[in-house]
Copies of this chain bind each other. A is one copy, B any other.
Amino acid sequence: MKIVMAQINPVIGDIGYNVDKMLKLVGKALEKKAHLIVFPELAVIGYPARDLLLRPEIVNRIENALRENILPASSHIGILLGAPVKDPLSERLYNSSLLFYDGSVVGRQDKMLLPNYDVFDESRYFQPAEECRPFIFQGRKLGVTICEDIWNDEDYWNHCRYETDPVKELVARGAEFIINLSASPYHFGKIKQRTDMLSAIARKHQRCVIYVNQVGGNDELIFDGSSLAFDSGGRLIRQCKSFQEDFVILDTELSCGTDLTGSITEDIGYVYNALILGIKDYMFKTGFRKAVIGLSGGIDSSVTAALAVSAIGKENVLGIAMPSRYSSQESIIDARNLARNLGIEIREIPIERVFSSYLDELNKSCDLSQDLAEENLQARIRGNILMFISNREEYLVLSTGNKSEMAVGYSTLYGDMAGGLAVLADVPKTMVYELARHVNCDQEIIPHRILIKPPSAELKPNQVDEDSLPKYEVLDKILKAYIEENRTAAEITAQGYDHSLVQEIIRRLERAEFKRHQSPPGLRVTTKAFGTGRRFPIAWRP
């Protein structure tokens, strides 16, 4: 059977756009004489559509679009796609796969396993299917699963989250192929994990596995695509591109796979490409063409600017250097050199006069100075200038703070945190350096001095980050253990860290929740990002 893996990038909510995109690919698949074309989970509305799914008009519009556009296109080809389906009797919503063929719906299988952890809220919207049965299509039995349905193999995982394994059920009911429609977001290491797991499942059940994933950035989530097909021996037959749309055809009878055992690796370039896609799609889907970034001459803003140039082109990126009385001459030169190397416009707007005018008003009856209030004020003046340029000239402000800072609150609310998208919000500082070395791998784009000088916020004389924070190598390891691995303070200490340091970092992390609550969406590239996947109260006490 000739099957097309149609790895598309839907725009959430834009049913017309998504259906048009699908119809074009159906046409292309017909030209290639494919029997079946497979689209990702919820492809018709995009993932995650969140509370849009609760709006009555959306579900009606989807029903109409499927009936009027997809159904007639299925005369000579099977179209398998993901859509939310409201059961006419119970009025309950399902996360479904629908198979259209010859002008009618010949199969519907609802998702059985609904993820409701981390960034996922599917129990908020959907009912789970109670059972799964293969579709009969052209005399073959297709076992169709949706995303999470394939992530519960009792042999692959030490701990199963759910009691049922839809794949096992489908194979028991005679499924000849396993097809999975996914919207599976990226984190560093996910592609290797997914490939290993799918290969093991194909091998175990001796079934061809065809996995079609959504691609694209949707707010904080980045879907990498990287769709895969395995033969019944678990060998890789086909692989779609990562971080872009793709259209790949395979013939289940003819394809001959490659054994991948132990050969898959992911390097920092994947994170780089993920972030590019996250920026590009956030801008495209919100309607921005141009981005502005405050360039401090530090590593975070340099990497952010390099990413922005890769995402939208140098002609659409504007850098603003905003030196203060505490900025070093080196920082300004480094920012200029970075802009020159990237080929972007840079404007210099010193903040000294504005800063002084605030201090004239605010220090009148007060002999305090150089306190935290003044440090934050400088960052907020810069935030205001960027937002002014955004408002006047229609630039999106990209904020540049990294995950390590966001974790411990080493950032200024409405200051360096201001912006529409926080590009590095889930990138620990040590990984920011890895990204910088990746940017510089062929030639020096980010001036070398930026990579070697001690990080500094330059908000008071001779300030460096390590005055207030432990070394980033240590901080990042403790943060990873706490945030990503959910370790206790005692467990982290037992890994060889100073107990009071561990406690101090956790305390700072907890106290900074009020800042993160007001931060722009941040692109997720680790297993646990701040944002919708990590929900903490603000007003609480440990």
A residues with a Cβ closer than 8 A to B are 11-14, 17, 46, 48-52, 54-57, 116-117, 121, 123-124, 217-219, 281-282, 285-286, 349-350, 353-354, 356-358, 360-362, 366, 368, 371-373, 376-377, 380-381, 383-385, 387-389, 391-392, 413-414, 418, 420, 486, 488-490, 514, 517-521, 532, 534-542
Q: Is the CB of A377 within 8 A of B371?
A: no
Q: What residue in chain B is nearest A13 (Cβ atoms)?
A: B540
Q: Is the CB of B387 within 8 A of A380?
A: yes
Q: How far is the CB of A149 from chain B (nearest CB, A)?
A: 18
Once bound together, how far apart are the Cα atoms of A117 and B535, in whole Å?
15
Partner of A354, one of B361, B537, B539: B361
Q: Kindly list the 8 A-B residue pairs having the minimum CB-CB distance in the complex, ordered from nearest.
A: A285-B539, A12-B540, A373-B392, A373-B391, A414-B414, A357-B357, A13-B540, A14-B541
Q: Please tell me how many copies of the chain the complex holds.
A: 2
Q: Is the CB of A49 within 8 A of B286?
A: no
A537-B384 contact in complex given A117-B124, A486-B56, A519-B518, C-beta closer than 8 Å: no
Residues of B within 8 A of A383 (CB): 380, 414
Once bound together, how far apart are the Cα atoms of A52 and B513, in whole Å?
13
In the assembled complex, 5 residue pairs joining A and B whose CB atoms fall closer than 8 Å, in A order, are A14-B542, A121-B535, A217-B539, A218-B537, A285-B539
Q: Is the CB of B123 within 8 A of A282?
A: no
Q: How far is the CB of A422 from chain B (nearest CB, A)?
A: 10
Q: What residue in chain B is nearest A217 (Cβ atoms)?
A: B539
Partner of A116, one of B116, B354, B356: B116
A13-B542, A116-B124, A518-B518 provided; 4 other pairs, C-beta below 8 A?
A: A14-B541, A354-B354, A358-B388, A383-B414
A376-B357 contact in complex given A219-B537, A537-B49, A539-B218, C-beta closer than 8 Å: no
Partner of A286, one of B13, B116, B539: B539
Residues of B within 8 A of A384 (CB): 358, 377, 380-381, 384, 414
Q: Is the CB of B371 within 8 A of A392?
A: yes
Once bound together, how far apart are the Cα atoms of A13 and B376, in whole Å?
30
Q: Is the CB of A538 within 8 A of B219?
A: yes
Q: How far is the CB of A229 from chain B (nearest CB, A)?
A: 30
Q: How far is the CB of A379 from chain B (nearest CB, A)?
A: 10
Once bound together, how far apart are the Cα atoms of A503 and B478, in whole Å?
50
Partner of A534, one of B46, B51, B373, B542: B51
Q: What residue in chain B is nearest A418 (Cβ atoms)?
A: B414
Q: Is the CB of B520 within 8 A of A281?
A: no
Q: A17, A218, A385, A388: which has the most chain B beta carbons within 10 Å?
A: A388
Residues of B within 8 A of A11 (CB): 540-541
Q: A50, A51, A117, A541: which has the most chain B beta carbons within 10 Å?
A: A541
Residues of B within 8 A of A489 (CB): 57
Residues of B within 8 A of A486 (CB): 54-56
A539-B12 contact in complex given A360-B353, A361-B350, A486-B55, C-beta closer than 8 Å: yes
